[in-house]
Structure 1
Amino acid sequence: MPFPTITEVKTFVVPGEGEGGDYHSQKAGHWIIGQISNPMSRYEQYKASRVSWGINVLGRQITASDGSVGFATGMGGPPSCWLVEQHFKRFLLGVDPRDTSILSDQMLRASMYYGRKGLVVATISVVDLALWDLVGKIRKEPVYKMIGGRTRDHLSFYCTGPLPAEAKRLGFWGGKVPLTWGPADGAEGMRKNYEELKKHRESGPDFPIMVDCYMSLTVQYAIELATMCLPLNITWWEEVLHPDAEGYEKLKAALPQLKWTTGEHEYTRYGFKKLLDTKSIDILQPDIMWCGGLTELLRITALASAYDVDVVCHGSGPYSYHFAVSQSNTPFTEASQIIICNAPDGKSVKPVFGNLFLNEVMPVNGRIEIEKFDAPGFGLELNPAIRLIDGAKLLNPDPEKPLGQAGQLLIIMMLSSRYNFFPLQLSQVHIALFTNVRNAPELRSRLIKASTMEGQEGENEREALNFAFVDAAPITSLLHLQTAIQQATLASTDGSLRTKTVHSEILWALNNSNNITESIKRFGVSDSTKSLFAVRVCGPEFAAGAVSMSMKATIQGDAVPFETLSQITDWPLVCKYYKVSGDPAVAELTKGGKQEPKRFPEAAKSIINEIVVSSVAMKNVMA
């Protein structure tokens, strides 16, 4: 019987916080999105949190002719969806999924003129992992048994997090901590780094502590800091420079007794060969979800073995676990592997991929027995309660409309604003305007149902609908809406909300009375709504691209420029809601009978807009 071939390739974007292994996307208060020295620390507007400059999670599903499905997750978001749909899919369809070597080679070579590193190789990595998962599912065999079998009986883990003493308590053999301050923080920042690491050493004189510098240091700064910390007995200094930087030879020459590690953000065997050729790297740390996938990682590992250099994967959960148990040069104390301390407080361990999978294997007392990895493929079962956004629909949401240029894929003419005077979790406002809305009744029904849904399904649905949906007909200007948004955000900040959320408060702020039900009826989405504003008030952990994708996935309509509002506003309706028909100036300008909405004199519109904006601005004062 012939082996099944690939019949379908699908891409997804995972929009939720903490799902899919995107360390840039976590809920407010999580330690990993706090101040950590990183490549963007030198820029003040991006220094506070990595969420201000990250990208989204990507999911990849490959189906075979026998109905078997392989799934993998990684980084890349919508741009990666485009690469797969428009370029890489052609190499996959109709092919035997066991041909991982040639498929990897074809994708790398076909994208060489615009790829070789970064997003392109990260996209290939997720495709490759999905292929290995699919083959394992078809053969009913775990991945590690297909690439060499077991080389040990269990995996031992160290834990990355802000509290190494907690890692020790949880049974991990070591703890890796993020460096908080970088060169931009000067001598005072270096002193703070030393004091913080000295405090971590209190976890025990012999407990291994590693420091993750996240590509943020210079050669001179790294030498000075590492020299200062020699009494602290740091086990290794990780990724002090970016992979393309020349300087690891200088680090090794200055402090040969220390271990220097890197590779998390390097790609393919060619990039790793350059690192190995420096003869300055003690441990390579490729990320299986970024470096080219499992197929390329096996090549990198074979290359490293010729230099007698150990390979210790960065993160990636079960994908890297299957690799580690099958390779003899992956451990340096039994099997050293990273598990990210995903709990917001850094005091416990949660799955690397959040709730994306139902059965992600977790360490107990810092170790996992190999028998836990014996399920087919990578042993991961997708959680049906997790909302996945279909990549194909993101790229071409309306079947009657052809796919535009790549640069147009995410543009829905969304206005994103930052308000530094509000708390971080309320500092970002994203607004988009849609016309020809075709699913208003469905949206209204979902909003009502979501309010009573329980469990994970309820949380996911409320997050999917976490917008203010504002009927555009009674809105006179963008300033009108923005004034209501600021009033609602202010109420949320000082604890004076009249409604349950900042988004429902926007509707209340727009209304001329204090009646909440009337506010929703007048300004919320109704079955007859044809034009709709979508508003999201959130923190910087929600990148503008992710918000725009979620809007487009939720609202079936045409995103239009805000100037279009002039053709939408129902001026008689505005006059009715705000009781401005009796204003002498408005009455004079509109005399002569009932005016059609689009035929109101411009002077009258200007006066009405001033009245309604003032009314909204003064509502909290008068309420």
Structure 2
Amino acid sequence: MLPLPCPPVARRGPARQQTAHRGGGRPSLPQRPARTHRRHGRRPDRLDREGPVSRPTITGLSTSWVRVPLGAGRGGSGATQVDLLHVTLTDDEGATGTGFTYALTGGAEALYALLTGLIKEKAEGTELDAWPRRWHEIAAATRRLGKGVALPALSAADIAVWDLRARRAGLPLYRFIGAHTDTVPVYGSGRSTHAMSVEELIEGSRTYVAEGYDAVKLRVGARRAEEDVARVRAVREALGDDLRIMVDCNERLDLPTAVWLGRRLDDLGVYWMEEPLPADDLAGHAQLATRQGVPIAVGEHLHGRHEFAHYLREGAASVLQPDVPLCGGVTEWLRISAVAEVFGAVLTPHFLPELHVNLAAAVPNCAYIEHFPLIDEVLAETLPISGGVAAPPDRPGHGMLWDTAALDRLRHA
């Protein structure tokens, strides 16, 4: 099993003081002191607010569709570009927040239409503290579209809301949510593809180790299973038993092959096996979990807490990889984390370390974030990683710095 942080200890408030009732009846609570008005020179019982309470309201939601080139095929998908939907929210006091979602292999038109239509209409005019209600209204209004379109679009607006709220509070997002830690482990994922030779796989992993990483992810599933086992074994033998090795199957296997492969990867000490089967094959993953010993990871193709909960209830996965720009935003990501904690599962969010570092630092059950360059070309700063560990930026909001010139240059709509 994957190591989990100690569960939080339930905190109890101070015991109620009880005083004996005269005559031996039920104990009674202490008498509350009488309130006095501040003009009598006594401290009031409640905070005295000076002037009206500010209730900022969203006045603008603008969306840019940006096409970011990836060069040669990236990761397991082989994508050569990412369609980024970049959102800017403005409130009635001029404060702003940014968010985004993305599409790797098509479908950005649907996301753009939702963001510039229904979501814009419902977001504008919403008070920031009423956003949770609006989130549910948008989710309900788009339910028949399917979660794979609606929740990624909603994610972009939701991330921007959380960024705006944290910036208004003057706090980094992870502290605004409630900091659990100040540093997060990172695993190396961006230097392995199906097309690489064994020597290239070893060298890519070796560079991560030289930089202080203690875990790397390799791609399997595009070759014969026997060849994949040999490739993983070569990396293990070259870099030793102290290195944690994960494998990503990119939904490429059938159940018998996954069982066969999982048993042999277990012998090599593989830390988790990611998406061995198509993500919508819940029953297959549940069977696989009982027939081999490597923990199963899923999440990049799941949307919303209910889909993650189904996997946990069936014992089909113990490592969850929610992607905040796809799963429903910060709001839903935090719910998924809470559900995972109930089942003793860990989180290792998918891609985008610059954003996920804030969420990982705000919850008790995140084992790693993933180093994988995806949108670096439109970032003015990538996440600094030292010795395989990263810290959230000490800036208000999510702290992501956008290269506005690159966003303008690559803008599609």
Give the TM-score of the pair, scaled to structure 1: 0.53
Structure 1 Cα separation of the partners of residues 205 and 55 of structure 2:
48
Residue pairs, 1:242-391, within 5 angstroms: 242-245=278-281, 246-255=283-292, 257-331=293-367, 336-340=368-372, 342=373, 352-369=374-391, 372-388=392-408
Residue pairs, 1:174-573, within 5 angstroms: 174-179=215-220, 181=222, 189-201=224-236, 202-245=238-281, 246-255=283-292, 257-331=293-367, 336-340=368-372, 342=373, 352-369=374-391, 372-388=392-408, 460=409, 550=412
Aligned residue in 1 for 2:28? none
Give, as a single letter, the amino acid of the residue that structure 2 aligns with 1:195. Answer: A
Q: How many angstroms does 1:132 deviate by?
A: 0.7
Q: How many angstroms does 1:330 deviate by?
A: 1.9
Structure 1 Cα separation of the partners of residues 377 and 385 of structure 2:
16
Contact 2:254–2:277, Cα closer than 8 Å, also in 1: yes
Residue pairs, 1:18-29, within 5 angstroms: 26-28=70-72
Q: How many angstroms does 1:206 deviate by?
A: 2.1
Q: How many angstroms does 1:136 deviate by?
A: 1.6
Relative to its length, the structure with more helix (as a share) is 1
Secondary structure at the aligned position of 1:99 is classed as: helix
Question: Residue deviations 1:161-213, cap 9 Å, x none?
Answer: 3122221111112001122515xxxxxx2222122112221222221000011
Query: Residue 360 and residue 50 in structure 1: after superposition, are their counterparts in 2 closer, same or farther (change >3 A)?
Result: closer
Residue pairs, 1:42-81, within 5 angstroms: 49-51=78-80, 56-76=83-103, 77-81=108-112
Give, as a single letter, the amino acid of the residue that structure 2 aligns with 1:248. Answer: H
Structure 2 Cα separation of the partners of residues 248 and 180 of structure 1:
16
Structure 2 Cα separation of the partners of residues 228 and 155 of structure 1:
30
Query: Residue 7 and residue 137 in structure 1: after superposition, are their counterparts in 2 closer, same or farther (change >3 A)?
Result: same
Contact 2:173–2:397, Cα closer than 8 Å, also in 1: yes
Give the TM-score of the pair, scaled to structure 2: 0.78
Secondary structure at the aligned position of 2:140 is classed as: helix
Question: Residue deviations 1:273-311, cap 9 Å, x none?
Answer: 111111131211111111111101111111122212122
Contact 1:181–1:192, Cα closer than 8 Å, also in 2: no
Give, as a single letter, the amino acid of the residue that structure 1 aligns with 2:168. Answer: I
Question: Residue deviations 1:453-478, cap 9 Å, x none?
Answer: xxxxxxx5xxx6xxxxxxxxxxxxxx
Question: Residue deviations 1:551-585, cap 9 Å, x none?
Answer: xx6xxxxxxxxxxxxxxxxxxxxxxxxxxxxxxxx
Secondary structure at the aligned position of 2:65 is classed as: strand
Query: Residue 272 and residue 229 in structure 1: after superposition, are their counterparts in 2 closer, same or farther (change >3 A)?
Result: closer
Structure 1 Cα separation of the partners of residues 252 and 131 of structure 2:
35
Secondary structure at the aligned position of 1:8 is classed as: strand
Contact 1:62–1:134, Cα closer than 8 Å, also in 2: yes
Give, as a single letter, the amino acid of the residue that structure 2 aligns with 1:74. Answer: T
Q: 1:170 aligns with which of 190, 211, 229?
A: 211
Structure 2 Cα separation of the partners of residues 106 and 319 of structure 1:
25
Bigger relative contact order (CA 8 A; separation at least 6): 2
Structure 2 Cα separation of the partners of residues 230 and 142 of structure 1:
40
Q: How many angstroms does 1:113 deviate by?
A: 1.6
Structure 1 Cα separation of the partners of residues 171 and 383 of structure 2:
17
Query: Residue 153 and residue 146 in structure 1: after superposition, are their counterparts in 2 closer, same or farther (change >3 A)?
Result: closer
Contact 2:265–2:294, Cα closer than 8 Å, also in 1: no
Q: How many angstroms does 1:68 deviate by?
A: 1.4
Give, as a single letter, the amino acid of the residue that structure 1 aligns with 2:166. Answer: G
Aligned residue in 2 for 1:132? 162
In the alignment, structure 1 segments of 5+ residues that lack a partner are: 18-25, 39-48, 183-188, 343-351, 389-459, 465-548, 554-623
Q: How many angstroms does 1:361 deviate by?
A: 2.6
Query: Residue 3 and residue 381 in structure 1: after superposition, are their counterparts in 2 closer, same or farther (change >3 A)?
Result: farther
Structure 1 Cα separation of the partners of residues 221 and 145 of structure 2:
34
Contact 1:100–1:295, Cα closer than 8 Å, also in 2: no
Aligned residue in 1 for 2:64? 12
Contact 2:286–2:314, Cα closer than 8 Å, also in 1: yes
Secondary structure at the aligned position of 1:326 is classed as: coil
Secondary structure at the aligned position of 2:366 is classed as: coil
Aligned residue in 2 for 1:616? none
Structure 2 Cα separation of the partners of residues 236 and 143 of structure 1:
29
Aligned residue in 2 for 1:145? 175
In the alignment, structure 2 segments of 5+ residues that lack a partner are: 1-52, 193-203
Secondary structure at the aligned position of 1:373 is classed as: coil
Contact 1:98–1:131, Cα closer than 8 Å, also in 2: no
Q: How many angstroms does 1:55 deviate by?
A: 5.9
Secondary structure at the aligned position of 2:250 is classed as: coil
Larger Rg belongs to: 1
Contact 2:155–2:330, Cα closer than 8 Å, also in 1: yes
